[in-house]
């Protein structure tokens, strides 16, 4: 079932004729419920713009963004904020936790803003905290725990609303390899339990935990890989090969292979 659909999305920054930047060019994309999609590409390729548009933090210049068939591409800010709170979870590179609240209250925050009862918050917290291995640090403050633990608290905060879609922007960018691994293992488990995840990353090792990797170049989806039944190592190798090809190939068409198995050739 399609959860997220982008239809001919373009985003142009600035004003014509001299100051225009086309960050996204006519992007069409579907993400199924339960999928785990990584977005990769060089600096300036359009990854963050794409994520911001899906997150309703930015608006399209043309095209549509549909979540569960609802067009969210032109929501007024107040409605967009409510939509985000109810449907999306966010994990950022720099954690974005509030130091004035302890970790547990940081996790509860989105449900507090949504006026949910404390009983519901507590019921959801326990399994999530266990899964993310943060049970013993819930009463501490963010500045009293490590970066890896902070990021797992941030992930719990993003997931406690049971969002339709978890969006992550470089979630392992500030973590060492051991903590990256712990977070990504948790993401994989959470995905296997049904959570749809879309993340932006520069790291092939991070992307290799996904089921599907999209490569963006100059604002178009240039290439796509599916993990299928491949091993982690084989998928990682293909991602690395694709990145190399991406860096050495001039911009071409944006045909996307719809098969769930192999590798699409560059066009």
Ligand X SMILES: Nc1ncnc2c1ncn2[C@@H]1O[C@H](COP(=O)(O)OP(=O)(O)OP(=O)(O)O)[C@@H](O)[C@H]1O
Binding residues (CB under 6 A) for ligand X: these are: 13-14, 21, 23, 41, 43-49
Residue identified by tokens 């296997």 is 192
Q: What minimum distance in Å lies between the beta carbon of 219 and ligand X?
A: 7
- Give the nearer residue to ligand X in terms of CB position, either 47 or 211: 47
Q: What minimum distance in Å lies between the beta carbon of 23 and ligand X?
A: 3
- Give the nearer residue to ligand X in terms of CB position, either 13 or 232: 13
- Give the nearer residue to ligand X in terms of CB position, either 56 or 161: 56
User: Cβ(188)–Cβ(135) under 8 Å?
Assistant: no
Q: What minimum distance in Å lies between the beta carbon of 229 and ligand X?
A: 30
- Give the nearer residue to ligand X in terms of CB position, either 109 or 174: 174
Q: For residue 81, give the nearest of 101, 55, 43, 46 by alpha carbon.
A: 55
Measured in residues, the chain has a length of 267
Q: What minimum distance in Å lies between the beta carbon of 133 and ligand X?
A: 29
- Give the nearer residue to ligand X in terms of CB position, either 22 or 68: 22
User: Cβ(114)–Cβ(64) under 8 Å?
Assistant: no
Q: What minimum distance in Å lies between the beta carbon of 180 and ligand X?
A: 17
Q: What minimum distance in Å lies between the beta carbon of 21 and ligand X?
A: 4
- Give the nearer residue to ligand X in terms of CB position, either 229 or 248: 248
Hey, CA dihedral for 31, 213, 93, 121, is it positive or negative? positive
Question: How far is 186 from 180, CA to CA, in rounded Å?
Answer: 10
């Amino acid at each position: 079932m399609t959860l997220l659909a982008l239809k001919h999305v373009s985003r142009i920054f600035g004003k014509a004729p001299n100051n225009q930047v086309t960050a996204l060019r006519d992007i069409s994309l579907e993400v199924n419920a339960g999928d785990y999609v990584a977005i990769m590409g060089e600096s300036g390729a359009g990854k963050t713009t794409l994520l911001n548009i899906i997150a309703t933090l930015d608006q399209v210049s043309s095209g549509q963004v549909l979540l569960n068939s609802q067009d969210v591409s032109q929501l007024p800010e107040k409605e967009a904020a409510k939509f985000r709170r109810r449907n999306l979870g966010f994990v950022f590179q720099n954690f974005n936790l509030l130091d004035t609240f302890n970790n547990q209250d940081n996790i509860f925050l989105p449900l507090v803003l949504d006026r949910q009862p404390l009983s519901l918050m507590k019921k959801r917290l326990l399994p999530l905290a266990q899964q993310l291995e943060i049970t013993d640090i819930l009463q501490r403050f963010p500045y009293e725990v490590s970066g890896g633990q902070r990021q797992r608290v941030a992930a719990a905060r993003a997931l406690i609303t049971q969002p339709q879609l978890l969006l992550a922007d470089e979630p392992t960018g500030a973590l060492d390899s051991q903590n990256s691994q712990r977070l990504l293992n948790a993401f994989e488990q959470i995905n296997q339990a049904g959570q749809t995840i879309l993340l932006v990353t520069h790291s092939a090792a991070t992307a290799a935990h996904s089921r599907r990797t999209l490569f963006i170049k100059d604002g178009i989806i240039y290439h796509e890989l599916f993990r299928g039944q491949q091993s982690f190592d084989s998928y990682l190798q293909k991602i690395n090969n694709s990145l190399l090809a991406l860096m050495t190939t001039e911009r071409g068409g944006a045909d996307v292979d719809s098969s769930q198995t192999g590798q699409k050739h560059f066009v």
